[in-house]
Amino acid sequence: MSLNIFMQQLVNAASLGSLYALLAIGYTMVYGILRLINFAHGDIFMLSTYIAFYAMTSFLLPWYISFAIAIILTILFGILLERGAYRPLRNSPRISIMISAIAASFLIENLAIVIFGGRPKAFPSVPAFSKIISISGVSTSSISVIIPIVTFIVLILLGYIVNQTKMGMAMRAVSKDYEAARLMGINVNTVISFTFGIGSGLAAIGGVMWGLKYPQLIPLMGLMPGLKCFIAAVVGGIGDIKGAVIGGFILGFGEIMIVAVSAFLPYDLSGYRDAFAFVLLIAILLLKPSGIMGKSSVEKV
Amino acid sequence: MLKIENLHVFYGGIHALKGINLNVEKGKTISLIGANGAGKSTTLRCIMGLVKKSEGSIVYDGKDLTGFKTRDIVKMGLVLTPEGRRIFPNLSVKENIMLGAYTRTDKTEIERDFDRVYELFPRLKEREWQVAGTLSGGEQQMLAVGRSLMSKPKLIMMDEPSLGLAPLIVKNIFEIIREINDNGVTVLLIEQNAKAALEIADYAYVLETGKITLEGKGSDLLNDPDVQKAYLGEAVTKNIEKNE
Ligand SMILES: Nc1ncnc2c1ncn2[C@@H]1O[C@H](COP(=O)(O)OP(=O)(O)OP(=O)(O)O)[C@@H](O)[C@H]1O
Ligand SMILES: [Mg+2]
């Protein structure tokens, strides 16, 4: 019995880790290309779940159309955010653009409270995802299995885009040297927009799946996952996509395992799950500040 | 092919170029020499649209480049191999070379030019899949030149291609420059290594603190006593400084 519960928790950990990974990639990609921590990234994630929510409840659209709309609108929003809040400041001191990011975050959160209301909303349950499935005695909701599978497919697609396509090559070039990239004829603005689009798209994919798995929406719901996934990106080595994925999974597994292990301990540790990210952050900053995948060696330039 | 008139550039309060006139004739090799900080790189970066000019005109192939994006300038066959090589260290050798052809769509010709780059620099072919950041300095310079050639240049501008390289490799690079020129590509060359630059040049300019102070045939400048005193005597020591 307890082994069954443990297996269930393992599935939960895989799906939470997947969601964190999807969100962490956005931080790491934007940092890689702009050296900016996009504080509004968690809020972009929040927006995607609300868009999906309204598409399903107010417009009564089927879930797949709603999710597609949520992903597309969130991508557009991410691109517009960069245009409006970050691009005008690109040549300003680093601190200005960071303050702009914090401001954007507060603005989105507070507008969300005004527009969506502060009261929690229940994400509609979609029968296809809330089925209980059981594999050799371990039963879990289908969404918990679907999340890691979708994430896996998305990551392979992302790897293909970044490593095999011309745009991916341009992204990697721009992340190292804007001016040299320009000299190749690369339109740096387009590449940056594309990067924000991808990061926001991944956040939206994570967002709608989050809504299915944890169906309670509040305007500040992006805050904690955002902060944690930023930590995941740092732990993995900020700027490195693989690192962000690893960081996200470490976080997801760590949190769930604290809860799982608590069941066997004399005192309940599960209240500390949110602290795990911060403990991990402190540990990595002490042991390997450049992160798990981070290069501490200097490249010859 | 390229005509610069009364070009002024400011960096904030620093007046880096103070009314430069420069003419690059088609098919020729033109050298621009001058001490550190004279404004050589600024001139090239301004031509490419990377820094804004405050006054003057840059006309390439009959078109005034004012307001042109770097991307459009590259598409017109005006290409810069930047100072310090600026290869992408995180990309493979092959990817770096392919990025040179970023704006091009003529697939078969790209393939052909790609093979030509490898013919010109067989060492790069051996290292095709190596991450470019791990190449030696000389190899990185070859990569930078090869990458520029992929942009199908009509006029290639090279900013100190011999910087920090051993004499043998410098010789090699200069041979390549000559070969590129022989293939019909116009060359605008910036060099600290004034002797080599003047030897290879059909025509040359001397830039001093933002002004052209002297111009003439390469061979004439080589024999000019002022140039000899100011640049040829020092060329050796400067190279040593840069090597460190
Ligand atoms: N981005 C910049 N901001 C401010 N000043 C600059 C900038 N770039 C160059 N300068 C200044 O403009 C002047 C010309 O610089 P430039 O790089 O064109 O010289 P250079 O002739 O290429 O020198 P070197 O031989 O050392 O490469 C120098 O005084 C330099 O300090
Ligand atoms: Mg220079």
At residue A299, the pLDDT reads 42
At residue A264, the pLDDT reads 80
Cβ of B48 and A183 within 8 Å? Answer: yes
Q: Hey, which of B36, B42, B211 would you mutate to test ligand 1's pocket, going by the most ligand atoms within 8 Å of its Cβ?
A: B42
Cβ of B102 and A300 within 8 Å? Answer: no
Of A173, A183, A299, the CB nearest to B133: A299
At residue A267, the pLDDT reads 83
* Chain A residues in contact with B75 (beta carbon < 8 A): 185
Of A166, A186, A299, the CB nearest to B89: A299
CA of A12 to the centre of ligand 2 (A): 57
* Chain B residues in contact with A241 (beta carbon < 8 A): none
Of A169, A183, A301, the CB nearest to B80: A183
- What DSSP element (H or E) covers A134? strand A132-135
The pLDDT tens digits for B206-236 are 999 999 999 999 989 988 888 888 887 644 4
The pLDDT tens digits for A168-198 are 999 999 999 999 999 999 999 999 999 999 9
Write out the residues surrounding ion ligand 2, Cβ under 5 A. Answer: B 41, 83
Can you tell me the distance from the alpha carbon of B109 to that of B122, in angstroms, rounded to the nearest whole number?
19
At residue B235, the pLDDT reads 45
Asked if the model's pLDDT at residue B9 lies above 60, the reply is: yes
Note whether A119 contacts B: Cβ–Cβ < 8 A. Answer: no
| Cβ pair B59, B131 in contact under 8 A | no
Asked if the model's pLDDT at residue B197 lies above 80, the reply is: yes
Ligand nearest to the CA of B43: 1
Residue B230 CB partners (closer than 8 Å, separation 6+): B35
CA of A36 to the centre of ligand 2 (A): 29
What 3-state DSSP class applies to B4?
strand
* Residue B231 CA, distance from chain mean position: 19
What 3-state DSSP class applies to A216?
strand
Residue B95 CB partners (closer than 8 Å, separation 6+): A169, A172, B88, B132
Of A179, A185, A301, the CB nearest to B71: A185
> Which residues form the pocket of ligand 1, taking CB atoms under 6 Å from any ligand atom?
B 11, 14, 16, 34, 36-42, 83, 192
Note whether B233 contacts A: Cβ–Cβ < 8 A. Answer: no
Asked if the model's pLDDT at residue A298 lies above 50, the reply is: no
Note whether B52 contacts A: Cβ–Cβ < 8 A. Answer: no
Cβ of B82 and A183 within 8 Å? Answer: yes
Closest-CA residue to B139 (of B64, B204, B89, B67): B89
CATH 3.30.300 fits A3-134+143-287, yes or no: no
Note whether B127 contacts A: Cβ–Cβ < 8 A. Answer: no
Neighbours of B67 (CB within 10 A): 8
* Chain A residues in contact with B102 (beta carbon < 8 A): 166, 170, 184-186
The pLDDT tens digits for A146-161 are 999 999 999 999 999 9
Q: Which of residues 146-205 of B touch A (CB under 8 A)?
A: 147, 151
CA of B139 to the centre of ligand 1 (A): 26
The pLDDT tens digits for B171-181 are 999 999 999 99
Cβ of A170 and B134 within 8 Å? Answer: no
| Cβ pair B164, A300 in contact under 8 A | no
Distances (CA, A) of A180 to A29, A147, B161, B180: 19, 39, 15, 21
Residue nearest atom 29 of ligand 1, based on CA coordinates: B37
Can you tell me the distance from the alpha carbon of B197 to that of A158, in angstroms, rounded to the nearest whole number?
47
The pLDDT tens digits for B151-163 are 999 999 999 999 8
User: What is the complex's ipTM, to 2 decimals?
Assistant: 0.91
**DSSP-based helix, strand, coil % in chain A, nearest 5:** 75, 5, 20
Three-state SS annotation for chain B: CEEEEEEEEEECCEEEEEEEEEEECCCCEEEEEECCCCCHHHHHHHHCCCCCCCEEEEEECCEECCCCCHHHHHHCCEEEECCCCCCCCCCEHHHHHHHCCCCCCCHHHHHHHHHHHHHHCHHHHHCCCCEHHHCCHHHHHHHHHHHHHCCCCCEEEEECCCCCCCHHHHHHHHHHHHHHHHCCCEEEEEECCHHHHHHHCCEEEEEECCEEEEEEEHHHHHHCHHHHHHHHHHHHHHHHHHHC
Residue for token digits 């050799």?
Answer: A136
Structure-block tokens of residue A152: 């896996």
| Cβ pair A37, A27 in contact under 8 A | yes
Residue A65 CB partners (closer than 8 Å, separation 6+): A55
Can you tell me the distance from the alpha carbon of A106 to that of A98, in angstroms, rounded to the nearest whole number?
13
Cβ of B95 and A301 within 8 Å? Answer: no
Can you tell me the distance from the alpha carbon of A104 to that of A84, in angstroms, rounded to the nearest whole number?
10
* Mean pLDDT for the stretch of residues A195-210: 98
Asked if the model's pLDDT at residue A296 lies above 70, the reply is: no
pTM: 0.92
